[in-house]
A and B are shown apart, each in its own frame.
Chain A
């Protein structure tokens, strides 16, 4: 029965996503290759001071990404610090410095980690002008970087990889905004609130008092899922009935957070002139996702562990309307993309069940990953995969007609080293620095024993991979964790982006080498298997030692 239900809901999801794959992927490809600017866009470009017809070298593209993101961090930081004097602040005071930095870094990097409880911290102005705007533009930045890399693969002998500002505007206004508008209205129809009334005090049926929250929730929820952001309007995130009221809104939200990342391989295939190249990338993503979902569903349905066994099911931290299976589906989707929204609390999952979201993030957010970041992450792994294949047969590897030389391999290798370094160093420093260790153990960690270590590992994994979900028992609103996780988010986002754009620039400048009998075909199942193996070996296995100390120790003892 359980297995049947799990398969039925997964099949529905696959069907919905299969239906959007081509139209959405093709549309996005059209958006980023079209020579025509809308009239309103031309006006906006003039206002902002951008020449939409000019092309940028990769260094200029990097400059644009970084300048825009620095401005974003400053902007969100200042808004929070000024909250006391802003309108619609619901009476909340200015947000403290460390927390403001953490939140600014979090939303600009598309992580949307929340060290704070939004219900009692952020007023409407910060939510709208600061956080909702970053939900759009941080996603648009992610797509832009992925598109720039795809252009690098598609172009020959080109000194440029596109125009960052044009890519940013088109992603925001042509892709994300129209989709978010439609989705937000559908969510309201499903019961998600959208108002500016603040708290409504009611006397309950039994005569108690209850303060019902309001707020522009549907508009945030729509872009939060579509842009794989994940920052909840409420502390309970997508488990809050005002964010996710029913079984079908739950499936819709899961479909939304997968829609763009899973359609981007199609965009990639179109832009390099062979959709089957995209289908191969998609194949790897799907194999990982289906395997991960099956594992988590089985582990949570089995409900191992003292507390779940005693309760008769792993229902702590889960909502009745989703139950175990729809919770597991959401948890898998949110951690395989870089969303990090939750409809159930991963901290209370069974020990091995709770390891799966961690493992999903440790894959490097590539199956399918965040909007844009998933695609460029997978393409970097594809470069590693053809390199490995080249080593096996002893010839210079190539991908899509581009030679994978020393420069490409250096950049790709640095790319895959960034997040594991941040995760492991961050976790290690949390326990190695005297003073910090005591603070982490006494203030931050919520659950005793090895589960406490898992909370810290989860936090640094989530921040460095720009996911944003948490073992939420962890009190992250401390100076150390706010600054350390904030730094991990910024480095985990922008170091890989710079490397990807450098890669794009070098690839774009190359001429195409002709295909020969010795060229590894990158559209066949053989390549899918190779890429899958590389993904598992170079990413997830890096973390095996630390997993044995945390969730594996807890689950197998």
Chain B
């Protein structure tokens, strides 16, 4: 066989193999996984959606959301999530981070600004503001805050809602999720689920 004919033959084999792989690994595999997922874990396969007391879907337990007014200012009656670099903040169609480097003047200014804002908003001292409250997450959709940041917001939320501070504090404590297996990752508080429970508290 000439070199050209060998090369042509090899490429035909490659093309047929690629079509076969596309069918089996692209289409077949994906459909089988989808079918198993939809049958065995439909809620999770469809995004762990959560509803409020009225049964309206208000988001996903896994995806953070903003608790701001139309002007983008934080609402004092809701626990606030971390800063977000996804779109204008918690845009689930545009996940992403700030990617600002450790010496970037823009990031330094942002952190100073956030620290001052969080401190003033919650009536606490700037040095009590934890790191997660002044830094944007990797996904821009981080559904969690640290227990420290949740506790720091208790007095403000309780006042805005006219609830006893102890009651809100107890709610936060009950919502703290320990590290997986006790040592993987960090302790968290899911902001959406905390706020859902908060809304029900007033009933």
Report the bound CA distance from A44 to B34 in whole Å. 24
Residue in B closest to A118 when the chains form the complex, CB atoms: B95
Residue in A closest to B184 when the chains form the complex, CB atoms: A247
Pick the residue among B57, B95, B180 that contacts A119 (CB under 8 A).
B95
- A8 at interface by CB-CB < 8 Å: yes
Distance to closest chain B CB from A298 (angstroms):
16
- B47 at interface by CB-CB < 8 Å: yes
- A349 at interface by CB-CB < 8 Å: yes
Pick the residue among B45, B52, B105, B186 that contacts A195 (CB under 8 A).
B45
Residue in B closest to A130 when the chains form the complex, CB atoms: B26
The size class of the interface chain B forms with chain A is: 35 or more
B13 engages A165 (CB within 8 Å): yes
The stretch among A46-54, A394-402, A413-421 that forms the contact with chain B is A46-54
What are the interface flags for B85-97 relative to A under an 8 Å C-beta threshold, 1 for contact and 0 otherwise? 0100011111111
Pick the residue among A133, A210, A314, A348 that contacts B21 (CB under 8 A).
A133
Instruction: Tell me the residues in window 42-80 of chain A with beta carbons closer than 8 Å to chain B beta carbons.
Output: 44, 47-50, 63-64, 67-68, 70-72, 75
B183 engages A322 (CB within 8 Å): no
Report the bound CA distance from A250 to B185 in whole Å. 9
A318 engages B138 (CB within 8 Å): yes
B34 engages A194 (CB within 8 Å): yes
- A248 at interface by CB-CB < 8 Å: yes
Pick the residue among B60, B65, B101, B180 that contacts A348 (CB under 8 A).
B101
Pick the residue among B18, B100, B108 that contacts A72 (CB under 8 A).
B18
Known: A68-B17, A205-B199. 19 other contacts (CB 8 A): A5-B179, A12-B181, A44-B20, A67-B7, A67-B14, A128-B30, A137-B21, A172-B25, A184-B33, A206-B66, A211-B93, A213-B92, A235-B94, A239-B139, A307-B102, A311-B135, A319-B138, A451-B101, A473-B100
Please list the residues of chain B having a beta carbon within 8 angstroms of any beta carbon in chain A: 6-7, 10-18, 20-22, 24-27, 29-30, 32-34, 36-38, 40-41, 44-49, 52, 56-60, 62-69, 75, 78, 82, 86, 90-105, 107-108, 111-112, 115, 129-132, 134-146, 179-181, 183-186, 188, 192, 195-196, 199
Please list the residues of chain A having a beta carbon within 8 angstroms of any beta carbon in chain B: 4-5, 8-9, 12, 44, 47-50, 63-64, 67-68, 70-72, 75, 117, 119-120, 128-130, 132-133, 136-137, 165, 168-169, 172-173, 177, 180-181, 184-185, 188-197, 199-200, 202-206, 208, 210-214, 216, 218-219, 222, 234-236, 239-242, 245-248, 250-251, 304-308, 310-323, 326-327, 342-345, 347-351, 354, 446-449, 451, 454, 471-473, 554
